[in-house]
Amino acid sequence: MSIPLDHVAPVRIRVLLVEDEPTIVAPLVEALERETYEVHVVGTGAAALEAANDADLVLLDLGLPDMDGTDVCRSLRAQSDTPIIVLTARGDELDRVLLLELGADDYVVKPFGVRELLARIRAVRRRVNGGRTSKSDAPVAQTIGSLRIDHRTRRVFVDERELMLTPKEFDLLMTLAQDVGAVVRRQQIIEEVWDEHWWGPTKTLDVHIASLRKKLGDPAWISTVRGVGYRFHAPS
């Protein structure tokens, strides 16, 4: 017997909350479940690495009893593209930029409001889902000089040497390479790679550009157009 469509239960987003402080866990779980998220809570980095593959999004506290949260973030990103939002009490900008370099999609600084966290979750999911949709018409592979970008597998090669890019670095490369030789404005890059409502420091873009240049092996791949943005082209 077929089930009427209006009786089919909606798919619930699975959130992995990695936090060992009960006074933080309880209100977060209540708020997330009220928004119909399915929440699974673990209190250690080791448990997070085991459970992450079953999650649609990870909320990761850095102050874990068994591992440093930055190591957990790096390991999570190495094993999957699941979005990661870091919950951190470390307010220094260098720490926040490091987290993004390690593959975090966003962060909130403690103490934070539940409404802010929910907004961040929605923004990250919109970015991830929207990015997949908007890039669906991209070519399967793209060759620019000695550079080859495989959009389907998200792998990048220079002279057959594979580059180990973070998800954000790959998205940044795709944005720059959409129109080779053209100037891409800073604001456009931030909106496409991060979010149109990005609240983080704009220095984050410069850090990612520097990292991408280093991994490409030649800074001439990406030219800075002062006061405007960046231009991507094969070195002459």
HEC string for 50-62: HHHHHCCEEEEEC
Taking the C-alpha atoms of residue 169 and residue 140, their distance in angstroms, rounded to an integer, is: 18
User: How large is the average pLDDT for residues 149-172?
Assistant: 88
- Position of tokens 């068994």? 66
Instruction: Tell me which of 99, 134, 169 is where a domain ends.
Output: 134
CB of 156 closer than 8 Å to CB of 210: no
CB of 107 closer than 8 Å to CB of 87: yes
User: How large is the average pLDDT for residues 19-24?
Assistant: 92
pLDDT of 129 reads 65
Taking the C-alpha atoms of residue 44 and residue 22, their distance in angstroms, rounded to an integer, is: 13
User: How large is the average pLDDT for residues 193-211?
Assistant: 73
The answer on pLDDT for 11 being more than 80 is no
Q: For residue 87, how many other CB atoms are within 10 A of its CB?
A: 22
The answer on pLDDT for 152 being more than 60 is yes
Taking the C-alpha atoms of residue 212 and residue 218, their distance in angstroms, rounded to an integer, is: 10
| Cα 164 off chain centre by | 15
User: Cis link prior to 4 (omega < 30° from 0)?
Assistant: no
Residues 63 and 89 in one domain: yes
Helix count (H) and strand count (E) of the chain? 8, 12
Q: Could you tell me the two tokens for 65?
A: 């009893």
Q: Could you tell me the two tokens for 74?
A: 């790096």
| Cα 213 off chain centre by | 19
Instruction: Tell me which of 71, 100, 134 is where a domain ends.
Output: 134
Residues 10 and 109 in one domain: yes
Q: CATH code at 160?
A: 1.10.10.10
Residues 10 and 104 in one domain: yes
Taking the C-alpha atoms of residue 218 and residue 233, their distance in angstroms, rounded to an integer, is: 11
The answer on pLDDT for 92 being more than 80 is no
Residues 116 and 179 in one domain: no
pLDDT of 102 reads 81
Instruction: Tell me which of 134, 162, 191 is where a domain ends.
Output: 134
pLDDT of 2 reads 46
Q: How confident is the model at residue 99 (pLDDT cuts 50, 70, 90)?
A: confident
Helix (H) or strand (E) holding 183: strand 183-185
| Assessment of whether the complete model's pTM goes beyond 0.85 | no
- Tens of pLDDT, residue by residue over 214-229, are 999 999 999 999 989 9
Domain count, the chain: 2
The answer on pLDDT for 210 being more than 90 is yes
pLDDT of 40 reads 96
Most confident of 59-73, 82-96, 192-206: 59-73
Structural domain containing residue 61: 5-134
For 31-40, 104-113, 119-128, 139-148, which range has the lowest pLDDT when averaged over its residues?
Answer: 119-128
Q: How confident is the model at residue 79 (pLDDT cuts 50, 70, 90)?
A: confident
Q: Which residues partner with 3 through β-bridges?
A: none
Residues 153 and 203 in one domain: yes
For 93-97, 177-181, 214-218, which range has the lowest pLDDT when averaged over its residues?
Answer: 93-97
Residues 88 and 186 in one domain: no
- Position of tokens 């999004």? 57
Residues 156 and 107 in one domain: no
Average pLDDT value for the chain = 83
Residues with Cβ within 8 Å of residue 214, at least 6 apart in sequence: none
Residues 35 and 73 in one domain: yes
Sheet with strand 84-88: strands edge to edge: 38-42, 14-18, 57-61, 84-88, 106-109
Residues with Cβ within 8 Å of residue 131, at least 6 apart in sequence: 171, 192
